[in-house]
Structure 1
């Protein structure tokens, strides 16, 4: 049994409500919200046209209005108008929808004036339709929020309470409560497999609250920051944990110490970019990768691919794929021995593919499987060290970088922070760059990093 298998052995499973089932419920409710918005807009414009004495079923009028509704849907999605928070907050729901509608009206009017089509439109009908549609959208959204609150209460999100010697809230209805000891959990920042165990448990939830003893709060906070989940710690007295916000759990004050850095819309954009680029690139490079595979087999005995445990999003461990560049039984599966310049473990073919970064190409398969992204913090081997210290011993913020999927390239790489980590500064530079990327993510930045990567494919530190 592998270390990963041992790490998740006897993990408690929670039924019947899991994060996956509740995510499906929220997705269906968000789709219902989208359909309700479109119905409200259609009804609003129909009433507006009728009030202006215009024929309601006129094709020449409904064609541009249909285009306007499509634009509204795109702007509303971009403006988080279909975010799950809009299912429970009237203010957020109405504000985001009205903002998207205002943007749609502006675009609609610019197009109409550009095409000089104002003579075909009834100003009264369009104006009445806009205001009536906006009113209906706000009414149906408020009704939706009330219905969701009444039916689900606090149960729209899967919530976990981990008890590790701390003070419990008076009411824990709707929460899954587990004892840390019984679940085999402990806040051990020096054990990647313990973080993997915690990440595997948290995968079934949307929110986790920790009730721990005072001397373990800091460690729990650090463990949650890379967990890609809303993480909170019960703190009757606030202390210095660099909280993101102050909230409460069933009347007890909590500090929000972790929150997934990307919302649903941004995760969808990033994943779509990965798929759109990865699939054609893999197809185009398939012949070249086959040639590299043959050369590797001819150069030295052993497998074509090198598989190694790395830490991925949510501090969950996965196996990274690379073209094998070292002799079998000399590569080191834990990465404790960094590759040095003129390393005698590297084969002849390995030296070339490492120098040109060709050895990284199989990671496109990791991207396709959803374990990695094209751009993100580079995943490191569990045994990697700097000045005889494990990376997370050099800087505890090291774990925070795992709130995003690891990437084939990243901000640190295009800044030249790659190769052996001989000093503490080598890893500190990478962590600082990764955290900067994490807190300032944008799709355009991902594209810029990929373009910048072309300049460092062949690098003096690549060996």
Structure 2
């Protein structure tokens, strides 16, 4: 993969340009060369974890369908043992997928090189049949089933599996070459340690890591501008802006564990990003138990932070949002219709109010609300917080703000994907407390944006809603939001969703 990395396409002229622009920063806080590299990675990629999961589902379906086809062809359409045969076929198919998973046949390297794993595939497929045969023998049911049918299924199912793997390997290789399936990584820290790490990663055959560049606070005399063919694109502070633009998946810190103070300083800056953070253990003398490591090929990494709600968790959460958003829209449609009519009768202006707020990964999203202020006095930036008896709020506005009815249009935000139903509440881009932006009040405030913001959240049902008129309120809301991110589960989301209507009865801080 690395031979086509945009980060390595630097001629002598480009290197001079990098050096010349080292102090020239764009408005986003990164130099022009770093911005050009980041712009080449803007497109979202397919997660290898998701690809592997989808392959499991496809192979399960293939095995079951081939078994069912063999049953229909040899026995007839549900003419004999109409539910027992399908149950046995489904059990063998599921067992085969589990065994293939245990044998690491769903790793990306295995999917890329199917011929190297034919033995394991045949063994797992055979083991699934053998285990079911043993189970049927001890249950005294084996005489009821046709051995010819299962022999036919064994042969056709295995053939389908191998052909599918062969086609899939070609697809995955193409996706890897085109940059459509990869994990984008940045090396944090330069010099010899970074070069050793990069060489080790590049030696790993068929790994899914694409190194996008290097970031280091040290000057060129201590950390060269080009390491192993990759450019040093800026400092650690600039890395945060770069990682958001380039949609980086992983930060690999190439510093020794013994450099404790420096590692902690880096992590304090970087933990706000929605990425996996790994500490390279390749050249460390300290050794940990094998379970302490994750690996890129054979290169050991210590897991420092994991991206929250990632992989299949994100799929489950999205499905949760879609289902419950539709339910919410249906249930509250009479209330929303009545509210729209009341707003129109009460004051001039549009029914809906749109406000730009910080979303996932600090991206700006447009959030819908019912208009609660006089149109000419609306404050899209939320620079001035709404207070008790605020003259800008209409009569209808006071009621819908108290009862949170003004938030109901955000069910559509959740349905379309800019918000989640449950998550940290999104704050307006220019929201302030005592003339300070929220991120200036709370250290690590932007860590709230490691997940998609929500219509409701853990902070809100614990009383931290409404006016944020003190710095302590901002800190407490952020603390509850971070607790939610670190402890997320589907049951936690369901709990928050069910408690929201009850907790909204407390309208003390809602104006």
Which TM bucket (shorter chain)?
A: 0.5 to 0.7
Verify: 1:175 aligned to 2:210, yes or no.
yes
SS at match of 2:195: coil
Distance (Å, rounded) in 1 between the aligned partners of 2:460 and 2:100: 32
User: Are 1:64 and 2:50 an aligned pair?
Assistant: no
* Stretch deviating more after TM superposition (153-162 or 260-269): 153-162
Match among 195, 207, 216 for residue 250 of structure 2: 207
Q: Which runs of 5+ in 2 are unaligned?
A: 1-25, 111-119, 203-208, 217-230, 286-290
1:162-219 Cα shifts (integer Å, max 9, x gaps): 6787664344757353477999976559xxxx967742321xx54344779x999767
Structure 2 contact 38–246 (Cα < 8 Å) conserved: no
Deviations 1:12-70 (A, max 9, x none): 377988864544x87566444444455567889999x9xxxxx8779434743434555
Q: Which residue of 2 aligns with 1:229?
A: 275
Q: Does 1:304 align with 2:330?
A: no
2:510 matches 1:462: yes
Query: What is the TM-score with the length of structure 2 in the denominator?
Result: 0.62
Question: Per the alignment, do residues 21 and 312 of structure 1 end up closer, same or farther by CA in structure 2, a change over 3 Å counting?
Answer: closer
RMSD after superposition = 5.4
* Residue number among 471, 477, 481 corresponding to 1:430 in the alignment: 477
Cα deviation, 1:388-437, whole Å, max 9, x if unaligned, reads: 65433443343223222111111111111212223343233322322222
- Cα drift, residue 373 of structure 1: 1.0
Partner residue of 1:52? none
How far apart in 2 are the matches of 1:321 and 1:43? 49
Deviation at 1:386, TM superposition (A): 4.7
Alpha-carbon distance between aligned partners in 2 of 1:369 and 1:342, rounded to the nearest angstrom: 34
User: Quick check: 1:278–1:368 contact (8 Å CA) kept in 2?
Assistant: yes
**How do residues 228-247 of structure 1 correspond to structure 2 at under 5 angstroms?**
228-232=274-278
Aligned residues: 417
1:363 pairs with one of 407, 410, 416: 410
Partner of 1:419: 466
Residue pair 1:376, 1:411 contacting (<8 A) in 2 also: yes
Task: Give the C-alpha shift of residue 458 in structure 1.
Answer: 3.0
Post-superposition Cα deviations, 1:110-164, rounded to whole Å, max 9, x if no partner, equal: xxx9xxxx76865997xx99xx99xx89x97xx89x969x969997524243678
Contact 1:376 1:434 in 2 (8 A): yes
Kindly report which structure 2 residues correspond to 1:92-171, keeping only aligned pairs within 5 A, or say none.
122=144, 157-161=182-186, 168-170=194-196, 171=198
Distance of 2:432 and 2:300 partners within structure 1: 38
Structure 1 equivalent of residue 106 of structure 2: 86
Alignment partner, residue 289 of structure 1: 336
Structure 2 counterpart SS, 1:86? coil
Structure (1 or 2) with the larger CA radius of gyration: 2
Of residues 379, 401, 410, the one that matches 2:457 is 410
Q: Who is 2:320 aligned against? A: 273
Cα separation, 1, equivalents of 2:384 and 2:485: 28
Q: Which residue of 2 aligns with 1:395?
A: 442
Q: 1:458 to 1:12 in 2, by over 3 A?
A: farther
CA contact (8 A) 2:67 2:89 kept: no
Q: Judging changes above 3 Å, is the alpha-carbon distance between structure 1 residues 270 and 428 closer, same or farther for their aligned structure 2 residues?
A: same
